[in-house]
Amino acid sequence: MTSSRTDVDVLIVGGGPAGSSVAWGLRGQGLRVAVLDKAAFPRNKVCAGWITPAVARALELDLSEYARGRILQPINGFLVGMMGARANEIRYDQGPVSYGIRRCEFDEYLLRRCGAELWLGQSLARMERQGDRWLVNDVIGTRLIVGAGGHFCPVARVLGARLGQAELVVAAQEIEFEMTAAQRSACAVRADTPELYFCPDLKGYGWIFRKGDWLNVGLGREDNHRLGDHVAQFCEEMRMHGRVGFHLPRRFHGHAYLLSHHAQRPLAADGALLVGDATGLAYPQSGEGIRPAVESGLLAARTILSSAGEFSERRLNRYADVIARRFGPRTADAPVSAPPVVSGWRQALARYALSTRWFNRHVVIDRWFLHRHQPALS
């Protein structure tokens, strides 16, 4: 992009799964669409990198083509339990129920094929309303801006989101590294069977997930108090129980994001929409955010196409209705409070449930993590 003024029909800020899905949904419609991202791709993203088949279907991904030269780890089962207790093994026989990907590969693949102009390595620094248009960084004009900049999206901030304040977030730390030959032979985690371990206070869970020769280990909680200690304890436990027979590297990366039931950010405004983590759509029980990012991106594209060039808040609010139908109502008016403490008999009951194979299979994995009851977006 040059420093002279450029006008586009739709400017998407952020080239993660949410932003590239908006562009993918708008391709071939005669609109000039551009994606602006502060990062040069491929870029990394703190994430376990687990996607459900619904993501591949909604994006019409050709998985055999994707797998050429990239990690695509089929998942056929899970080990699930409470930390410090025996885990249940859940297996599926009818083909993969999920896949492991590396975000540096996955996000770049989606972005390069999305059909939009890519303005990478450029941050959104300023945006101002001028009549019915936005002027971005003094040189880009657009009637519609889509905020897809993740949890700290600058468009969300301009639309009134109070980033980092009065928001109850999931705080997570994760590491992904390529194992050496010695580490591979000392790793008991099977590549097609990610392992999930819930924290004793039920405020989060840790995972250990092998994708080919790569190992991804992390822990997320709806409470960032002493997160590093929880992570260190989890890693030590994995070593003590023989899941990894070596000390894990200490270079964990942290990130925060919103779960949909706590998010109070707007979805639409005059000339603007928010998608993915920018508005806070991750599933509450699993923290899975790629599918909601992709689906909200595709639904935003549908709203844009059906708006026939009228981008008033009233018109764009149809997107908010569609999102509520897909992901459930948001607690926009509810005060932000600490997560409910699961205590006493409820905690005992939850612990018992999490020790049973039936609950782990039908509720934890099928419903909370795989969302098998919710078909892919057609």
Ligand X SMILES: Cc1cc2nc3c(=O)[nH]c(=O)nc-3n(C[C@H](O)[C@H](O)[C@H](O)COP(=O)(O)OP(=O)(O)OC[C@H]3O[C@@H](n4cnc5c(N)ncnc54)[C@H](O)[C@@H]3O)c2cc1C
Which residues of the shown chain bind ligand X in the complex (CB under 6 A)? 13-19, 36-39, 43, 45-50, 123-124, 148-150, 152, 154, 172, 174, 218, 220, 255, 257, 276-278, 282, 287-291, 293
3-state secondary structure 312-368: CHHHHHHHHHHHHHHHCCCCCCCCCCCCCCCCHHHHHHHHHHCCCHHHHHHHHHHHH
In terms of CB distance, is 81 or 149 closer to ligand X? 149
Taking the C-alpha atoms of residue 334 and residue 105, their distance in angstroms, rounded to an integer, is 38
At closest approach, how far in Å is the CB of 158 from ligand X?
Answer: 11
CA distance to 76, 194, 375, per residue, from 97 (Å): 6, 12, 13
Contact at 8 Å (CB) between 32 and 8? yes
In terms of CB distance, is 143 or 157 closer to ligand X? 157
Taking the C-alpha atoms of residue 49 and residue 51, their distance in angstroms, rounded to an integer, is 7
In terms of CB distance, is 271 or 276 closer to ligand X? 276
At closest approach, how far in Å is the CB of 98 from ligand X?
Answer: 9
CA distance to 47, 227, 255, per residue, from 172 (Å): 9, 8, 6
At closest approach, how far in Å is the CB of 28 from ligand X?
Answer: 22
At closest approach, how far in Å is the CB of 340 from ligand X?
Answer: 22
What are the backbone angles phi and psi of residue 217, rounded to the nearest 5°?
-130, 135
Dihedral sign for Cα atoms in the order 47, 52, 54, 58: positive
What are the backbone angles phi and psi of residue 148, rounded to the nearest 5°?
-130, 35
In terms of CB distance, is 72 or 148 closer to ligand X? 148
Q: What residue is closest to ligand X based on CB?
A: 289
At closest approach, how far in Å is the CB of 185 from ligand X?
Answer: 26
In terms of CB distance, is 67 or 186 closer to ligand X? 67
In terms of CB distance, is 46 or 268 closer to ligand X? 46
At closest approach, how far in Å is the CB of 122 from ligand X?
Answer: 7
Q: DSSP assignment of 76-118, as one string?
A: -EEEEEETTSPPEEEE--SS-SEEE--HHHHHHHHHHTS-SEE
At closest approach, how far in Å is the CB of 228 from ligand X?
Answer: 14
In terms of CB distance, is 242 or 375 closer to ligand X? 375
